[in-house]
Amino acid sequence: MSLPRSCHALAASLPLLALLASPTALAAPDPGDWQSVVEEARGQTVYWYAWAGEERTNDYIQWTADRVAERYDIELVHVKLSDTAEAVSRVLAEKQAGNDERGNVDMIWINGENFATMKANDLLFGPWSEQLPHYPLTDPDNTPAVRYDWTIPVDGLESPWSSSQVVFYYDTALVDSHPRSMPELLDWAHDNPGEFTYARVPNFLGNAFITQALLELADDTEILYEPMQEEDFEAVTAPLWAFLDELHPLLWRSGRAFPGNSSELRRLMGDGEISIALSFSTTEASGAIANFELPDSVRSYVHDHGMIGNMSFMAIPYNAQHKAGAMVVANYLLSPAAQAHKQDPLVWGSNTVLSLETLEPDDRARFDDIDLGIATLPPDELGEVLGQPHPSWVDALAEAWQARYVGR
DSSP per-residue letters across 70-97: HHH--EEEEEEES-THHHHHHHHHHHHT
Quick check: is 13 in a domain?
no
Q: Write the CATH number for 125.
A: 3.40.190.10
For all residues of the chain together, what is the average pLDDT? Answer: 92
Range of the domain at 115: 24-162+311-371
- The answer on 299 and 254 residing in a single domain is yes
For the segment 354-380, the average pLDDT, to the nearest whole number, is 94
Whether 89 is in a domain gets the answer yes
Q: 240, 214 in Cβ contact below 8 A?
A: yes
**Quick check: is 11 in a domain?**
no
Same domain, 123 and 260: no
In terms of domains, do 397 and 268 share one? yes
Confidence bin at 394 (pLDDT 50/70/90): very high
User: Tens digits of per-residue pLDDT, 245-277?
Assistant: 999 999 999 999 999 999 999 999 999 999 999
Residues 248 and 391 in one domain: yes
Residues 65 and 148 in one domain: yes
Same domain, 259 and 396: yes
Residue 217 and residue 333 share a domain: no
Is 344's pLDDT higher than 90?
yes
Residue 223: other Cβ atoms inside 10 A: 17
Same domain, 127 and 213: no
For residue 408, pLDDT over 60 is answered with no
Task: Give pLDDT tens digits for 277-333.
Answer: 999 999 999 999 999 999 999 999 999 999 999 899 999 999 999 999 999 999 999
Q: How confident is the model at residue 207 (pLDDT cuts 50, 70, 90)?
A: very high
Into how many domains does the chain fold?
A: 2
Residue 252: which of 236, 225, 273, 283 has the closest Cα? 273
Same domain, 277 and 393: yes
Same domain assignment for residues 96 and 234: no
pLDDT at 168: 98
Question: Is 9 part of any domain?
Answer: no
- pLDDT band of residue 407 (cuts 50, 70, 90) is low
**Does 378 fall in a domain?**
no
Mean pLDDT of 44-67: 96
Indicate whether 189 and 284 sit together in one domain: yes
> What 8-state DSSP symbol labels residue 351?
B
Within-domain flag for 18: no
Strands (E), 265-399: 276-279, 298-301, 307-315, 385-386
CA dist list (Å): 275 to 168, 175, 188, 193: 11, 7, 11, 11
Q: pLDDT digit string (tens) for 74-102? A: 999 999 999 899 999 999 999 999 999 99
| Same domain, yes or no: 279 and 176 | yes
Q: How far is the C-alpha of 63 from the C-alpha of 79, rounded, in Å?
A: 15
Least Cα distance to 341 among 101, 83, 63 occurs for: 63
